[in-house]
Amino acid sequence: MAETTIQTTILRNLLHNEEYTRRVIPFLKKEYFEGSHRAVFESIIHFVTKYNKLPTSESLQIEIQEVSELIGPEDAAEASAILSDISEDKKVDEQWLEDQTEKWCQDRAIYLAIMESINIIDGKHKELTKNALPELLSDALSVCFDTNVGHDYINDADGRYEFYHRTEERIPYDLDYMNKITNGGLPQKSLSVILASTGAGKSLFMCHQAAAALTQGKNVLYITMEMAEERIAERIDANLMNVPVDQLENMSYDMYSNKIANIAKRNIGKLIIKEYPTGAAHAGHFRALLNELKLKRNFVPDIIFTDYLNISASSRMKGLGGAINSYSYIKSIAEEMRGLAVEFNVPLVTATQSNRDAFGNSDVDLNNTSESFGVPATADLMFALVTNEELEKLGQVMIKQLKNRYADPSKYKRFVLGVDRTKMRLFDVEESAQTLVTQDSGPAFDSSATAARIGSERKDFSGVKV
């Protein structure tokens, strides 16, 4: 009886309360209504959609009569009785009504999802399998009334001012210059891409960053398609234990257990490492993994690493070949990765391979991105890892900014980090070692014709005020 009452109340207000109708119609589904209430609801929606205004009781009665043959005489008679019941407007509290409508939609969505799940389990569903259960229930549990349809420049000015002065939640680096170029770390809903040639340290950088996030108490999901799960864990072991990676296998069980216990005492976050076959997994697989981890292990990551972008698959495009070129395919993967970061409100860090021209090149740029220039077009932050014999002797690696949506990429354009490859660690070097950064924190110019031209232009306009 209570179910019929709330359905009737909703239908009555859809008929008489235009403000309420326009707020809730986007969230109401005909499947939520039962019996003749559904026929009345469909008649109201049909009229509002066609004429952009509320119907009258008389017009709805005519609509019901026209579809009486489709719904049957008994249901038509019951629908007419419902129309008579809701023809009179009865005022109720607006906020209470909206809250009750939202709760009813949530309850109905969960009920319908459970009934559909039973059909799937019994093998009666023609399309879905048991693999669809987590997503089915997750969608039902996420039903809510989100009335935001855009930002009003004038009316939302106060909210915009608050946004300007809001401290954005970020995942900080444990590296000084990396925090400088990102204004304190990686924000949520962002895609960061590391560009490097083979063996330059893409996985080392991500493993170090993952270890740093763990020590801050952050939950980390590391998705690998290049190395085994144990190999990634081995690198993070070396980083957190401060032990050369090739010495881990020589440690006794007691020594290893003690080091793990000491790491656990530091209240680190939780790390999940998931391996997929090379080129076989895409954003859809990662989404299913995230939902499964939340349901089965109550694990929600604060940051995601995927190692790496070019050996992932696209959920929207089938593999290369035919009409699909590498630009479109790799760009599609990058867009799906960034979409995943936005959907789950986390920073996502990945890497991409540089082309052959970048091998041994100490001045890598965006043109050295292999396969697709669509990657830098999509990324929020992109930087290159550059190494050569001189840097290797110094135990350093150079970082060059390629794209940055968080700060001016010309500031700290290049800088160096110390690297201990045996322990899979990066560290800050002394300021005197930052020979690539000028005293005014601007970039050091290349010894190129372009740099000379820019330098001369600066001198020409040095006295001009802007």
Tell me the pLDDT tens digit for each residue of 239-254. Answer: 999 999 999 999 999 9
pLDDT at 362: 66
Cβ atoms 327, 372 nearer than 8 A: yes
DSSP-derived secondary structure letter, 316:
S
**pLDDT at 323 exceeding the cut of 70:** no
Output the 3-class SS for 99-114.
HHHHHHHHHHHHHHHH
2-141 against 170-460: fold identical: no
Maximum Cα interatomic distance, the chain, rounded to a whole number of Å: 89
Q: How far apart are CA 22 and CA 12, in angstroms?
A: 14
Of the candidate ranges 108-122, 183-197, 299-313, 345-359, the one whose mean pLDDT is the lowest:
345-359
Cβ atoms 259, 312 nearer than 8 A: no
- Partner residues linked to 29 by β-bridges: none
pLDDT at 322: 54
pLDDT at 360: 61
Phi, psi dihedral angles at 445 (to 5 degrees): -75, 150
Average pLDDT over residues 154-177: 88
pLDDT at 4: 55
Of the candidate ranges 310-324, 325-339, 425-439, the one whose mean pLDDT is the lowest:
310-324
Q: Is 397 helix (H, G, I), strand (E, B) or coil?
A: strand
Two tokens, residue 212:
């740093």
**pLDDT at 466 exceeding the cut of 60:** no
Q: Is 353 helix (H, G, I), strand (E, B) or coil?
A: strand
Kindly report the pTM of this predicted structure.
0.67
Q: How confident is the model at residue 444 (pLDDT cuts 50, 70, 90)?
A: very low
**pLDDT at 443 exceeding the cut of 90:** no
The label of the residue with tokens 């235009």 reads 18
Q: How far apart are CA 182 and CA 311, in angstroms?
A: 27
Is pLDDT larger for residue 263 or for residue 126? 263
Q: How far apart are CA 101 and CA 150, in angstroms?
A: 23
Identify whether 308 is preceded by a cis peptide bond (ω within 30 of 0): yes
Q: Which fold has domain 2-141?
A: DNAb Helicase; Chain A (1.10.860)
Among residues 165, 28, 14, the alpha carbon closest in space to that of 82 is found at: 14
Which CATH code of 3.40.50.300, 3.40.190.10, 3.75.10.20, 3.30.70.1140 fits the domain covering 170-460? Answer: 3.40.50.300
**pLDDT at 193 exceeding the cut of 50:** yes
Exposure class string for 423-439: b at 16+ Cβ within 10 A, else e? bbbbebbeeeebeebee
**pLDDT at 359 exceeding the cut of 90:** no
What is the per-residue DSSP string for 187-205?
Answer: ESSEEEEEEE-TTSSHHHH
Domain ranges of the chain: 2-141, 170-460
**pLDDT at 226 exceeding the cut of 70:** yes
**pLDDT at 363 exceeding the cut of 90:** no
pLDDT at 378: 92
pLDDT at 316: 79
**pLDDT at 343 exceeding the cut of 50:** yes
Q: How far apart are CA 102 and CA 98, in angstroms?
A: 6
The label of the residue with tokens 């063996």 reads 199
pLDDT at 79: 87
Q: What is the pLDDT of residues 260-293, one digit of tens each?
A: 999 999 889 999 999 999 988 999 999 999 999 9
> Chain-wide mean pLDDT for the chain?
86
Q: Is the dihedral of CA 362, 367, 368, 373 positive or negative?
A: positive
pLDDT at 321: 55
Average pLDDT over residues 305-309: 91
pLDDT at 1: 39
Of the candidate ranges 163-172, 183-192, 200-209, the one whose mean pLDDT is the lowest:
163-172
Q: What is the pLDDT of residues 29-82, one digit of tens each?
A: 999 998 889 989 999 998 998 899 999 888 888 888 887 777 777 888 888 899
C-beta neighbour count of 99 within 10 angstroms: 12
